[in-house]
Each structure stands twice: as structure tokens, then as C-alpha cells.
């Protein structure tokens, strides 16, 4: 009996074989590998939400309630996933989201993720709370990246951070508005989250089970918040994430601050953390180029709507005036196409790429992006389309009235 091979299947890359001897078929496989290979406190930091984690779970589960229309006997040749995000050409409408402590999932994690994103033709976004600095990533990546900004009380530090992003030729600024105060994540409290990790007996026992992670971390000097240490006044050491953020994140942040930051930046501006239609109107009126429908991965207001549930109303309200993007819960190419059908122009992936990074470094991020690309391509074809920019709510069984995704 002859074997049948999927036309989209391809063997794992040589780099990936170094990290995994078992087949990786989906993002969940990467998650399981990351859970085994990343120290507990850093895996939990990525894979957790605030309080009961209800919103975190809803971000994923609500995608499962959306049904797709299968179409047959249509021409599925010459498909394309090429699109744009904030005017920048992308190989598929997916960007890597800004995530704090990325460099603790794998040594020099931000550099590795930026390289993988560049090869895949999608944007990489560096977090203010990254381990590798703006300058580190700019030095080791040959493609412009985006920078995400948190607003701190120290406005001089923020101005210098913006200027550093401009000097590094970052092509967009992602301004996060939903972290004026920090939602409590119980796992971080229990684990005593810090970077580098404190050498307590429980931490030492856990680290002893992660030899590859430890060896890679010993080979780098990048183990703390390099955007902050040596740049913020009076900050020479950053062991505790929670204490510094509690002191510095600005609860008085308002739309006047957005305008001031926009004026200093002078380039493409994306506003992140919009979950309400009134706030979406404010974002559209601010002159920003795009907004991101986001609940911070369920890590802030537990009990808030999932991002995918909030997306259709926001897209309908402002999608004709500002580019609407979204993040939260995307674990597959099918999730990507569902978001596009509900009005998103593009999406961001956070935990999905972190699982890949923790599982296998740069090769793991490449594997993550390849999985999502293949799933998006096949799902689009089975829905009867050949061009991702033509995705609309017509591909949904129960479709809301939505603007065209153009």
C-alpha cells in the first residue's frame, strides 16, 4: 500500500532536530516541550493569567465557538498570505507580540525571536521589559523591528527610551495603555519571580532539572532588564520585576500623554490594550495608525471580555478610520483566519512564540511561525479563498455584520 504525503508537510529543519527528536505538529506540542525545558518561574510567568485566570482561558476557548464554512470545488491554486500591517509588507498578517522577560525563556531570547521573525517576513516587537536591550536587538538583526513602550513616572527616562528606539531605526512604536497598575498573577507571587532567579533551595532544585537552559544562560551576559538598568536614573540592579514596576508604572496615564509621546516619536504609532468601543473611538481620534484589541493576555483585568469577543464590535465601530489589530489566545492558523474574518487586519502572537522559544530557541520560533503559516494557508484554501486579504465574515457559519477586511 503506497503512502500519501500531505502537500504542505515538510521535514523539520536541521536546527530543529537538535532540539526535538519527536514530531511537532502544533503549538501545543511546543508548549509541552517548553514546559519541560524552561525553569518553572519563567514558564509560569509566560503561561499564566491574573487571579482566577478566567479571561486568560476565555482568550483561547472563545475561538473554539467560531465555526468556519467549508467550500469545495473551487480553485485553490496560487494562494498568497502576503499582506500589510501599518503599511509594512508582511509575508502573512501575523506579528510577534511584545513580551516581558523573553530572554529568560531562552538565553538571548529577544535576539533569537527577532531573527526568526525576519526570516519569516513578519514584524518582531521588543518589550520595554525585555532582557536584551533595543541596542542588542538592533545589532544582531538585519531587519527593522517594532518597539513597545510602557509609560513610567520618570518622563525623562521615557523620552530617552523613545529616542533610543528612533536611533535603532524601529519602524513602529507600540504604546501599551492597559498596564497603569499591575494585575496580580498568583503564580508569580508563589514562585518569587525575579531575574536573574534568586538562588533559593527550590529554585536550585528546579534549575538542576534544566541543564540546557542553564548552560545557555551561562554563555550570555544578558540576564536582567537591559533597557532599564544603566538607563533609568538610580537603577543599577533589577532583581525584582514587581517592586520596580509598582513604583514606576504611571497610574495617571491619559490621552494627553498619548499625544505627547506621539509628537516625540513622529513615526508609526500603534495603541495596545483596547477592549472597549469608547476607548477605540478615543484611539481612532488620537491620530494613531493602528490599535490592538487586547486584554494583555488575560494578565490584567480578570473577568474582562476575551479579545476575540471584543473584536467585532470594535472593528465595526472604528475599522473604517484606524487599522484594527488583535492579540490574545491565538494558538493556530485557524485562530488567525477567524480573527481576520471578524475584522482584524492582522494579529499578534505572544505565548505561541514563547513556547517555541522555550522549546528550541531560534529554531523553535521558526517552527512556531511555520506551523501557523501552514495552518493559515490550508484553512484559507478549505474556506474557498486564495488571497488572505480577501478574508471576510463570509467564511463564518454565523457571521456578524462586519466591514470588509481591506
Catalytic residue among 106, 112, 296, 345: 296
Please determine, for residue 224, whether its predicted confidence score (pLDDT) is greater than 80.
yes
Task: Judge whether residue 401 has pLDDT over 60.
Answer: no
Which residue has 498578517 as its cell numbers? 93
List, as own/partner pairs, every contact residues 273-279 make where C-beta atoms lie below 8 angstroms and the sequence separation is at least 24, other chains included.
Answer: 273/176, 273/177, 273/178, 273/179, 274/177, 274/314, 275/178, 275/304, 275/305, 275/307, 275/310, 275/314, 276/310, 276/314, 277/313, 277/314, 277/317, 277/318
Which pLDDT value is given to residue 23? 86
Q: What is the pLDDT of residues 101-133, one digit of tens each?
A: 999 999 999 999 999 999 999 999 999 999 999
State the chain's mean pLDDT as an integer: 91
| DSSP labels, 10-21 | -PPPHHHHTT-S
pLDDT at position 162 = 98
pLDDT at 17 over 80: no
- The superfamily CATH assigns to domain 23-391 is Aldolase class I (3.20.20.70)
Q: What angle do CA 374, 366, 223 make, to 5 degrees?
A: 150
- Weakest mean pLDDT among 88-102, 224-238, 355-369: 224-238
Binding site residue list for FMN: 98-100, 127, 148, 176, 272, 294, 327-331, 350-351
Q: Half-sphere exposure of 355 toward its Cβ, with a 13 Å CA cutoff?
A: 23
Mean pLDDT of 247-255: 89
Q: Is the pLDDT of residue 166 over 50?
A: yes
Annotated catalytic, 112? no
Whether pLDDT at 4 is above 70: no
Give the single-character DSSP code of 64. Answer: G
pLDDT per position as a tens digit, 73-91: 999 999 999 999 999 999 9
- DSSP states of 122-137: --BEE-TT-SS-HHHH
- Measure Cα distances from 280 to 132, 163, 311, 338, 403 in Å: 32, 27, 10, 20, 16
187-196, 217-226, 296-305, range with the lowest pLDDT: 187-196
CA distances from residue 377 to 78, 333, 336 in whole angstroms, order as listed:
11, 8, 10
Q: Tell me the domain boundaries of the chain.
A: 23-391
Binding site listing: 45, 98-100, 127, 148, 150, 176, 185, 272, 294, 296, 299, 327-331, 350-351
Among 187-201, 252-266, 310-324, 359-373, the minimum mean pLDDT is found in 187-201
Q: Name the more confident of 240 and 313.
A: 313
Amino acid at each position: 500500500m503506497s503512502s500519501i504525503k500531505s502537500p504542505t508537510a515538510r521535514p523539520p529543519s536541521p536546527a530543529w532536530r537538535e532540539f526535538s527528536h519527536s514530531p511537532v505538529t502544533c503549538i501545543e506540542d511546543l508548549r509541552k516541550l517548553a514546559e519541560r525545558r524552561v525553569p518553572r518561574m519563567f514558564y509560569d510567568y509566560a503561561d499564566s493569567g491574573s487571579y482566577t485566570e478566567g479571561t486568560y482561558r476565555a482568550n483561547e476557548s472563545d475561538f473554539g465557538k467560531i465555526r468556519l464554512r467549508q467550500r469545495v470545488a473551487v480553485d485553490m491554486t496560487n494562494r498568497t498570505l502576503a499582506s500589510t500591517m501599518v503599511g509594512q509588507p508582511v509575508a502573512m498578517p501575523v506579528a510577534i507580540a511584545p513580551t516581558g522577560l523573553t530572554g529568560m525563556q531562552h538565553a538571548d531570547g529577544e535576539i533569537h525571536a527577532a531573527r526568526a521573525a525576519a526570516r519569516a517576513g513578519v514584524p518582531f516587537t521588543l518589550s520595554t521589559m525585555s532582557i536584551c536591550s533595543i541596542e542588542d536587538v538592533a545589532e544582531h538583526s538585519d531587519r527593522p523591528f517594532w518597539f513597545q513602550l510602557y509609560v513610567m513616572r520618570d518622563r525623562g527616562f521615557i523620552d530617552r527610551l523613545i529616542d533610543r528606539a528612533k536611533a535603532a531605526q524601529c519602524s513602529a512604536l507600540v504604546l501599551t495603555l492597559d498596564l497603569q497598575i499591575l494585575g496580580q498573577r498568583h503564580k508569580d507571587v508563589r514562585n518569587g519571580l525575579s531575574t536573574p532567579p534568586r538562588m533559593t533551595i527550590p529554585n536550585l532544585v528546579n534549575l538542576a532539572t534544566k541543564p540546557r537552559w542553564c548552560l545557555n544562560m551561562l554563555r550570555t551576559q544578558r540576564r536582567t532588564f537591559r533597557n532599564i538598568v544603566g538607563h533609568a536614573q538610580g537603577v543599577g540592579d533589577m532583581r525584582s520585576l514587581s517592586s520596580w514596576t509598582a513604583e514606576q508604572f504611571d497610574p495617571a496615564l491619559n490621552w494627553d500623554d498619548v499625544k505627547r509621546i506621539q509628537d516625540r516619536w513622529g513615526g508609526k504609532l500603534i495603541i495596545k490594550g483596547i477592549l472597549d468601543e469608547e476607548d477605540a473611538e478615543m484611539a481612532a481620534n488620537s491620530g494613531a495608525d493602528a490599535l490592538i484589541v487586547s486584554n494583555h493576555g488575560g494578565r490584567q483585568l480578570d473577568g474582562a471580555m476575551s479579545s476575540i469577543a471584543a473584536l467585532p464590535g470594535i472593528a465595526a465601530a472604528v475599522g473604517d478610520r484606524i487599522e484594527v489589530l488583535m492579540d490574545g489566545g491565538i494558538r493556530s492558523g485557524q485562530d488567525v483566519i477567524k480573527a481576520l474574518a471578524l475584522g482584524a487586519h492582522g494579529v499578534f502572537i505572544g505565548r505561541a512564540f514563547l513556547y517555541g522559544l522555550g522549546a528550541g530557541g531560534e529554531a523553535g520560533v521558526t517552527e512556531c511561525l511555520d506551523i501557523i503559516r501552514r495552518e493559515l494557508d490550508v484553512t484559507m484554501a478549505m474556506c474557498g479563498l486564495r488571497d488572505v486579504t480577501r478574508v471576510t465574515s463570509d467564511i463564518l457559519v454565523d457571521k456578524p455584520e462586519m466591514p470588509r477586511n481591506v
